[in-house]
Amino acid sequence: MNINFTNREYEALLDMIYLADWMLHSYDTEKSDDIYQAIEQKILGYAKDFGCGDKIVFDPKLQQHFPTRAYEESKEIQGVIDDYDNETFWDELIDRLATRDLVRQYGAEKLDSMTPTERIHAFFEAESPYADEFETNGLDRVEIRKAQQ
């Protein structure tokens, strides 16, 4: 089987592979995904053929292809990562605070016994004030209170 790509499609595929690899390994550098790495190396090996030799280099000592620093730091790649990080931060913060509040309010056992509809309704009620607060004020009004002794 052959798959044909235009230069633009190949360039988009490089971006997708880079971003997927970043997602898989940015926090767990010990993770070994041999099949993913094999596919990545296979695709990166065609970089020069598709006019992307400025984005991918081959290290003869390691016998592997790597993205160049300029490619990794490009606006296209970093823009996607920055947007993802920003959205994930707010979603995770709101989700974790709402979940904490629900556990405090109902207890974990009661939450687990709720129907999915009840749990979703309670969660949306709990997250709404946080979503409104962070949309309006960002982190400006977030503080750590010292425990009273």
From CA 79, how far away is CA 133, in angstroms rounded?
26
Is 79 among the domain residues? yes
Domain membership of residue 146 (yes or no) is no
Domain boundary, last residue among 22, 50, 71: 71
Query: Are 16 and 61 in the same domain?
Result: yes
Q: pTM of whole model > 0.85?
A: no
Candidates 11, 2, 3; CA nearest to 49 is 11
Mean model confidence pLDDT for the chain: 94
The total number of structural domains that make up the chain: 2
pLDDT tens per residue across span 54-64 = 999 999 999 99
Instruction: With beta carbons less than 8 A apart as the criterion, state whether 141 and 133 touch.
Output: yes
Answer whether residue 149 is part of any domain. Answer: no
Look at residue 143 and tell me if it is in a domain. no
Return the pLDDT at 34.
Answer: 83
Whether residue 147 is contained in a domain is answered as no
What is the spatial distance between Cα 99 and Cα 130, in angstroms, rounded to a whole number? 11
Segment 66-72 long-range contacts (CB within 8 Å, at least 24 positions apart): 67/18, 71/18, 72/18
pLDDT of residue 29: 67
Domain that holds residue 92: 75-137
Q: In the prediction, which pLDDT does 31 show? A: 66
Decide if 130 contacts 94 (C-beta within 8 A).
yes
The whole-angstrom separation of Cα 113 and Cα 7 is: 54
pLDDT at residue 107, as a whole number = 95
Query: Which residues in the chain land under pLDDT 70?
Result: 29, 31-32
